[in-house]
Structure 1
Amino acid sequence: MDTNDTWLIIPCYNEGTVIKDVIENARATFPNIVAVNDGSADNSAAQIHAAGAHLVNHPVNLGQGAAIQTGVEYARRQPGARYFVTFDADGQHQVKDVVAMLERLRNDDADIIVGTRFGDAARDEDQVPLIKRIVLKTVVMLSPRTRRLGLTDAHNGLRVFNRKVADELNIRMNGMSHASEFVTQMDEKGWRVAEQPVDILYTEYSMSKGQSLINGVNILADGLLVRKLP
């Protein structure tokens, strides 16, 4: 598959330990990557540069939503850009899943394909930590938009979308609430949405970064906040 028309957008905050490996692994398949260094206090910027990705710096930390919006705006200005991928910096996402999702997007009647951790009940029990699973399913239960769109995993950061979505995307919420805002825009803008089962690699490193109970509570709170946006 020719992937020169595809751009990976990687928001990055203090991921200097792993970001170089993540980018180098992805660049073997996807040469066009923009990583947004979101005010990191570590060596993330240097590691991004060393890995050969396009580097955009936020001088201060603005949050993942803002980093994704910056990355999408950068990518859509590049010649020949037709497809866009949001991809986490901590090594959880798998390149093989992006390839499958991109192939489906090219051939199916969809504008955006969202990864889901809940595509196979037997695998879900092994793949998703219990607290995380409870939080994610609660978010879906509390979100009429998510249920209306047929989504089972609204906070999965792996998304593949076309130029229409990239041009219309306007993320205003800076924190984890950007995922709920993504769902809101899917619904309000009438994007054609599909889901794809994906494998999430939960390592000791990634678990320490964002799988705590506090993070789960923040996801729920942010989701409720998005529902109040005009």
Structure 2
Amino acid sequence: MNPSAALDRTLVVVPTYNEAAMVGSVVTGLREVFTHVVCVDDGSHDDSAADARAAGATVLRHPVNLGQGAALQTGFDYALRHTDASHVVTFDADGQYLVSDAVAMVELIEETGVDIVLGSRNLGRTEGQPFARRVLMAAALRFSRRMTGIELTDTHNGLRVLSRTAVAAMNLRQRGMAHASEIESRIASAALTWREHPVTMCYSDYSRGKGQSNLNALNILFDLASDRIGAPA
């Protein structure tokens, strides 16, 4: 395996909403190792799109805010229709993830040939995570395991590497944050092969301020229940 060739064949999708404070530096870090970075600007009201473009990303724009799930699906559609990328990395714009972890996950998917590699903070480490967030994520993990039947060690982790086959299987319907559990459901329904990889999540004052409130977890559960009720048998 040629690591450089694998990175050249990989498209990084960065969903972005009002991330002008961080997205430029995030894209700059990604562009040091990844040739192709796409930021999907999800109706931002700040300079996110301009900053991402200046840092070297291709920018796709939603005229209004549709949610992170919709932004990811736009990135997936772009990868399939406009590129020959063999893999897609999903990477958040708030600076919580390490580019080195994304590189290691691309290497793992190349070595193993699985369809998707999922980042796990519980196999790796978390810096600065609030206690309430830790409790919430533990509850979300239990819910996700019951819903999907997949024994993951982490859930709602935005760092993933998907093969082109996995990208084609997504077709996300959940536009908001419930898309993360929906991705796990797609893994089960499409019988995709998967592995987890330890990652480091770095919570900062900025990322904690941008994060989902605990109350919004109820909205995620409602979206997931609605998706299950409305899903074809």
Please say if 1:51 is aligned against 2:55. yes
- Corresponding position of 1:64: 68
- Corresponding position of 1:91: 95
Q: Report the Cα distance in structure 2 between the residues aligned to 1:45 and 1:198, rounded to whole angstroms.
A: 27
Cα deviation, 1:45-80, whole Å, max 9, x if unaligned, reads: 111111110010101111000000001111223443
Which of 133-142 and 10-19 deviates more?
133-142
Please say if 1:196 is aligned against 2:200. no
- Corresponding position of 1:179: 180
Q: Which amino acid in 2 is paired with 1:228?
A: I
- Corresponding position of 1:139: 140
Q: Report the Cα distance in structure 2 between the residues aligned to 1:139 and 1:129, rounded to whole angstroms.
A: 15
- Corresponding position of 1:207: 208
- Corresponding position of 1:150: 151
- Corresponding position of 2:25: 21
Shift of 1:189: 0.5
Please say if 1:73 is aligned against 2:81. no
Given that residues 148 and 184 in structure 2 are in contact (C-alpha distance below 8 angstroms), is that contact kept between their aligned partners in structure 1? no
Cα deviation, 1:56-114, whole Å, max 9, x if unaligned, reads: 01011110000000011112234431010110011111101111111110011410011
Alpha carbons of structure 1 residues 79 and 213: separation in structure 2 relative to 1, 3 Å: closer
Given that residues 144 and 155 in structure 2 are in contact (C-alpha distance below 8 angstroms), is that contact kept between their aligned partners in structure 1? no
- Where has structure 1 moved over 6 Å in runs of 4 or more? none
Cα deviation, 1:117-158, whole Å, max 9, x if unaligned, reads: 1115xx45x553211111111122123456632212121011
Which residues in structure 2 correspond to 1:23-42 (within 5 Å)? Answer: 23-42=27-46
Given that residues 113 and 159 in structure 1 are in contact (C-alpha distance below 8 angstroms), is that contact kept between their aligned partners in structure 2? yes
Q: Which amino acid in 1 is paired with 2:102?
A: V
Alignment TM-score, normalising by the size of structure 1: 0.92
SS in 1 for 2:11: strand
Q: Report the Cα distance in structure 1 between the residues aligned to 2:141 and 2:17, rounded to whole angstroms.
A: 27
Shift of 1:35: 0.4
Please say if 1:116 is aligned against 2:120. yes
Q: Report the Cα distance in structure 1 between the residues aligned to 2:131 and 2:228, rounded to whole angstroms.
A: 26
Alpha carbons of structure 1 residues 16 and 138: separation in structure 2 relative to 1, 3 Å: same
Q: Report the Cα distance in structure 2 between the residues aligned to 1:79 and 1:9, rounded to whole angstroms.
A: 12
Which of 200-209 and 143-152 deviates more?
143-152
Residue-pair matches, total: 227
Q: Which amino acid in 2 is paired with 1:227?
A: R
Q: Which amino acid in 1 is paired with 2:107?
A: E
Structure 1 vs Structure 2: percent identity of aligned residues? 42
Shift of 1:214: 2.5
SS in 2 for 1:30: coil
Q: Report the Cα distance in structure 2 between the residues aligned to 1:132 and 1:63, rounded to whole angstroms.
A: 21
Which of 217-226 and 93-102 deviates more?
217-226
Please, which runs of 5 or more residues in structure 2 have no aligned partner? none
- Corresponding position of 2:109: 105
Please say if 1:160 is aligned against 2:161. yes
Alpha carbons of structure 1 residues 118 and 127: separation in structure 2 relative to 1, 3 Å: farther
Higher strand share: 2
Q: Report the Cα distance in structure 2 between the residues aligned to 1:103 and 1:7, rounded to whole angstroms.
A: 14
